[in-house]
Amino acid sequence: MAKCAICEKTVSCGNKLSITRSHISKRSTRTWKPNLRSVKAIIDGQVKRVHVCAKCLKNGKVKRA
pLDDT tens digits for range 11-36: 999 988 777 666 667 788 999 999 99
Helix, strand, or coil here: 59? helix
26-54 average pLDDT score: 93
37 neighbors 9 (Cβ within 8 angstroms): no
pLDDT of residue 22: 67
Note the pLDDT of residue 24: 67
Q: What is the mean pLDDT of residues 38-50?
A: 94
**Count of CB atoms within 10 A of residue 14's CB?**
10
Quote the CA–CA distance of 57 and 37 in Å, as a whole number.
9
Per this entry, what is the length of the chain? Answer: 65
CB 26 within 8 A of CB 49: no
